Amino acid sequence: MKLRRAAAWLLWWAIPVLAWAQQPAEMKPVTDRLAASIYNGPSVATLGELADGIGGRLTGSPAYVRSTEWAAAKFRSYGIENVKLEPFTIPAGWQRGTATGAMLAPLARPLNLASMGWAPSTPAGGVQGTVVVVADVAPEGLKSRAGELRGKIVLLDTTRIYADGYGKALPKMEAAWLTFQKAGVLAVVFADRDKNNVLNAHSVGWGAKLLPLPAAEIGMEDAKLIQREMERGPVIIQFTIENKTSGETTVNNVVAEIRGSERPEEWILIGAHLDSWDFGTGAQDNGTGAISVLEIGRALMSLGKAPRRSVRLALWGGEEQGLLGSYAYTQTHLDELDKCVAVLNTDNGAGHPKGWKVEGREDLKKAMQPWSDGLLKDLNGGELSTDTTYDTDHGPFLLQGIPALDLSVDMTHYFEIHHKSSDTIDKVDALDFKAGEAIVAVTAYAIAQNETPIAPHIDHAAVGEIVKKAKLEDLLVNVGVWKP
């Protein structure tokens, strides 16, 4: 009798565990339904609403505000009740206006030119001056050139300035701006990196801070012409930029939650940034990522029953200015991050999908392998890479020791449209786009449904080893998000 009771007692406690212990093959009927919902779903049309209907969504701009309201309404239309706009602040608001420029001597010709992000307007009538090249922004060297720089327009040789990496150059550049201002420099110009005078929208620093001087980017070929002419004698250029700037600005992340059916206090997060630059319509950077998060929310709701753990769906602001929205979220929700089982991020465009980057974690790669082999390989998502980056919104969660996955896709042609006026919906391959969505959806469901967390949180020291190995420490320390 005692043996029977003991056996019954053990069986009673084992039932929940056995019911939860699912292998990839057992999950496949549900994940197949989820993938089918994605492939048959409206994500391409939804992307058109965002990219064509709203367009470029610069952080803090009216277009960005419209996109957050639109996204929140979309989540609610899928039956998700817990939808919030969660605010954070940026140091300054900025909106692009007009920009024109020309070389005046020794040749008279127009320049292909645009304002740098978060640069102030020029004085009325613009700026005009002789060009001086600066290739070294070490403080002592710049101070010794103060007299030479007064009343000039500085052309920065960024190839040499950033030769030792962006992270190491960042504090020198921040100090250089103040030196330029004190020395009486009129403005600063940068040569763009792409051929055919194609311009890339971007800013100089980190954190949406207003620059102290007007700054513009010039097409590659125009900049090379200026430098060739400077070998023969002085070059004078002129440009006028008009932008709208403001002080501290509130920006919203959009966060929705599908409450877990059995362990709602534990959660995974699926995220992508909603903001974009403003030359194009932000279709692949990061419209496809943002729509993936929306579409996965819709597909999960179509299953009729939530996964065991809660699923949070986040659309971030301020990514282009330094992962500002996702970092703010980690700080605001610091006391509940221990319940975050994993973070899945998508922000590499809609190229042909490969699988996941596990951000330097061999243990996470090992834990993911059965799911990659059993569920993702058939979706072209079976690869696992240990590459580590801090270039998009998985980064702040990685620093908290949370298992972080970043969708890996073929990026061969991504930089042909990245931050350019050509980032439009006609460049999106619908099949590759949906395949990437399906990979994220299936992975998210498997992690949210699985008996045990996919991998443990790691401590500060272990994160530090990943950061060092990836040569990210200088950057992270200098932007103020990491202390060794």
> If phi over 0 gives left and psi between -120 and 50 gives alpha, with beta otherwise, what is residue 124?
beta
Whether residue 348 is preceded by a cis peptide bond, meaning omega within 30 degrees of 0, is no
**Gap between the Cα atoms of 34 and 44, Å rounded:** 17
pLDDT at 1: 39
Contact 166, 475 (CB under 8 A): yes
Contact 235, 251 (CB under 8 A): no
pLDDT at 23: 84
pLDDT at 21: 52
Q: Which of 156, 241, 240, 246 is nearest to 205 (CA)?
A: 156
Contact 372, 356 (CB under 8 A): yes
**Gap between the Cα atoms of 257 and 247, Å rounded:** 32
pLDDT digits (tens, 9 = 90+) for 322-346: 999 999 999 999 999 999 999 999 9
Residue 288 burial (CB count, 10 A): 32
* HSE-CB of 88 using CA atoms within 13 angstroms: 22
Residue 5 has pLDDT above 80, yes or no: no
**Gap between the Cα atoms of 268 and 7, Å rounded:** 35
> If phi over 0 gives left and psi between -120 and 50 gives alpha, with beta otherwise, what is residue 419?
left
Residue 14 has pLDDT above 90, yes or no: no
Q: Compute the Cα dihedral for 39, 44, 49, 54 and give only its sign.
A: positive
Distances (CA, A) of 45 to 51, 68, 290, 391: 10, 18, 13, 28
pLDDT digits (tens, 9 = 90+) for 24-83: 889 999 999 999 999 999 999 999 999 999 999 999 999 999 999 999 999 999 999 999
Q: What angle do CA 256, 259, 264 make, to 5 degrees?
A: 130
pLDDT digits (tens, 9 = 90+) for 77-102: 999 999 999 999 999 999 999 999 99
pLDDT digits (tens, 9 = 90+) for 436-458: 999 999 999 999 999 999 999 99
Percent of the chain with pLDDT over 70: 95
pTM recorded for the entire structure: 0.94
Which domains does the chain show, CATH number per domain? 24-91+249-478 (3.40.630.10), 93-244 (3.50.30.30)
pLDDT band at 3 (very low <50, low <70, confident <90, very high): very low
pLDDT band at 11 (very low <50, low <70, confident <90, very high): very low
* HSE-CB of 409 using CA atoms within 13 angstroms: 29
